[in-house]
Amino acid sequence: MPPLPRPIRSARPPAGARATLALPLGLLLGTRAVAADVVLPDFTPATMDDFAAADDLGNLARMALEDRGLVVLGGEALEALVGDAALACADEVSCPVNLWGRIDASTAVVGRVGQEDGLLHVRILVYEGRGSRATRTYEERLPPAAAGELLLRVADDLAPETLAPPAVSRPVPGVVEERYAPASGAAEEPPLDEEPPRRPDRESDEQVDRLGLPAYAERRYEDSGAHADAWLEQARVRRPAVFLELHGGALMGDLDRRYDTRVGLYDELGDAWSDRDTYTYHSFLNSRGFTGGLAVGYQAAWWVDVSLLGGVQLGRKELTTGWETWEAAGNPDGTDEFLESDQVVYDPVSAVLGFMEPRVRLYPLATGILKPYVLAGFHLRFYDAYAVPDQEFVDYPEAQGGVGMGPTVGGGLAFDAPKGAVGFIEIPWTYVVSPSGAAITDTGGLQEVPTQFVGVGQFLVFKAGLGVHFH
């Protein structure tokens, strides 16, 4: 293997010499012998043929570290303190931990060197803060001539940080002026009694002023130094715009409908039947289903929008029918005599209810991607009539359609994306004012009527949606 290049060393005496001189004194005092910046065990050879390369790179690493002003403990001085504990350190996971208990240093550099096809395979692990895990890892396959650059890079990464010299501007002829940058690199703040300068683009400022933003948003705009359009887009401030939204979700509460009807038939003359008693029960039932709709609205200001939401609710319709036959005054005591009865329970069918909902939403936050809100509205729900199948000798009464209504309140969270795109989730709750209960008719002359099911008078919707604002 050709000789490895050596990094250029400074003219001052190597710091390692000071470490070596301190060794006997530490041994005599019985304490930790040397306080060093870096512990450098001998680089571990990958095979028996790699000892010379490992030794050369270990020496180069020591020279590079010392040239960066670091006190290095390695070689014979380290062996005198820890014995064989530093041998083959790259192959022993517990090696750095064992070293921390015997020496006074905060950093260890452990290396392993092998040769493959004329290239050096170098792996260097750096343990900092007396830790048990490597904080930096360098692993490269490189020609021998480039090994010095790798070791100099490791030394540069471990060298103490120093402040940059003051930045001095070139004076113009006849003027002497020096400007020094703060040591921390932070920009110089204006005096407390001075207002930050406003941008010369007053038209841009007026565009923001017209939005009536809260004080905190105005300050963010002033501090940004950006043009109004760019800042409003970046800060996700809502401006007056028409919007469209697509809604969809699940509904829980009064959704399904049920209609029960019964008819009492009487043989009064012995040769013909007539309807004398009737019973009907029409009501909404507590159930679960789906809802979807489309809203069109106007964002009047950053804090409020109004819209009209229209759509459908998907539920079910249930139906039962039945009849009873009686003989008028057929009993000895002159009362009617019950003869027979029958009933039909139809399978539930899908039902679609239409609705419209004018609504308003209020937003407490003017900026940011996430915008919580509260909403209020008035819900109008349209339901259709029942088409009840008649029997040959029975004409059942029909259940009429109608309009249900009630106030809606709730809350949600909007997600404002770029270019006017919006996503949202919300939970509106509606209290049903009308119909306020079941519609019942009962003449009281029937022997059997079905069980009456009662709704809850309200419904709750869990939904999400997407929208777009047209500025």
For 403-425, the pLDDT digits (tens) are 999 999 999 999 999 999 999 99
Domain that holds residue 364: 241-470
Q: Taking residues 313-333, report their average pLDDT.
A: 93
In angstroms, the CA 319 to CA 401 distance is 14
In angstroms, the CA 86 to CA 94 distance is 10
In angstroms, the CA 104 to CA 332 distance is 118
Does 221 map to a domain?
A: no
Does 202 map to a domain?
A: no
DSSP H/E element including 230: helix 228-235
Same domain, 133 and 257: no
Does 372 map to a domain?
A: yes
Does 42 map to a domain?
A: yes
Token duo for residue 249: 């979700």
Return the C-alpha torsion angle 31, 36, 42, 44, nearest 10.
Answer: 100
- Minimal CA–CA distance to 72: which of 14, 112, 157? 14
How many independent structural domains does the chain possess?
Answer: 2
- Minimal CA–CA distance to 147: which of 127, 167, 173, 118? 118
Average the pLDDT over each of 43-52, 190-199, 306-315, 403-412 and give the range with the smallest value.
Answer: 190-199
Q: How far is CA 367 from the centre of its chain?
A: 17
Does 263 map to a domain?
A: yes
Same domain, 143 and 246: no
In angstroms, the CA 77 to CA 127 distance is 20
Same domain, 274 and 140: no
Beta bridge partners of 301: 304
What one-character-per-residue DSSP string does 304-318 give?
EEEEEEEEEEEEEEE
Q: What is the pLDDT of residue 36?
A: 84
Q: What is the pLDDT of residue 418?
A: 92
- Minimal CA–CA distance to 158: which of 98, 106, 96? 106
Sign of the C-alpha dihedral, residues 324, 328, 331, 333? positive
- Angle ∠(305,306,307) on CA atoms, nearest 5: 125
Token duo for residue 234: 């970046």
Please, are residues 60 and 131 in contact by the beta-carbon 8 Å criterion? Answer: no
Token duo for residue 296: 């069109």
Please, are residues 426 and 293 in contact by the beta-carbon 8 Å criterion? Answer: no
Last residue within a domain, chosen from 121, 143, 158: 158
Same domain, 151 and 298: no
**Other C-beta atoms lying within 10 Å of the C-beta of residue 389:** 10
Please tell me which residue, 291 or 132, carries the higher pLDDT value: 291
Last residue within a domain, chosen from 132, 158, 184: 158
Confidence of residue 203 (pLDDT cuts 50, 70, 90): low
* 344 Rama sector, left if φ>0, alpha if ψ -120 to 50, beta otherwise: beta
Residue showing tokens 């036959």: 325
Q: What is the pLDDT of residue 161?
A: 67
Does 97 map to a domain?
A: yes
Residue 23: pLDDT over 80: no
Does 40 map to a domain?
A: yes
**Other C-beta atoms lying within 10 Å of the C-beta of residue 376:** 14
In angstroms, the CA 45 to CA 141 distance is 15
Same domain, 461 and 342: yes
Does 400 map to a domain?
A: yes
Using DSSP, state whether 100 is helix, strand or coil. helix
- Minimal CA–CA distance to 118: which of 27, 2, 286? 2
Q: What is the CATH number of the domain that holds 82?
A: 3.40.50.10070
Token duo for residue 1: 């293997």
Confidence of residue 175 (pLDDT cuts 50, 70, 90): very low
Same domain, 422 and 299: yes
DSSP H/E element including 276: strand 273-301
In angstroms, the CA 120 to CA 35 distance is 32
Same domain, 129 and 265: no
What are 324-359's pLDDT values in tens digits? 999 888 888 988 899 999 999 999 999 999 999 999
Per-residue burial over 340-352, b if 16 or more Cβ lie within 10 Å, else e, is: ebeeeeeeeeebe
Q: What is the CATH number of the domain that holds 425?
A: 2.40.160.20
In angstroms, the CA 323 to CA 343 distance is 6
Q: What is the pLDDT of residue 9?
A: 40
Token duo for residue 306: 């109004």
Q: What is the pLDDT of residue 97?
A: 81
What is the pTM for the complete model shown?
0.57
Confidence of residue 20 (pLDDT cuts 50, 70, 90): very low
- Minimal CA–CA distance to 403: which of 429, 432, 426? 432
Q: What is the pLDDT of residue 94?
A: 79
Same domain, 381 and 260: yes
Phi, psi of 420 (to 5 degrees): 80, 5
Last residue within a domain, chosen from 158, 184, 213: 158
Residue 37 DSSP code: S
Q: What is the pLDDT of residue 26?
A: 38
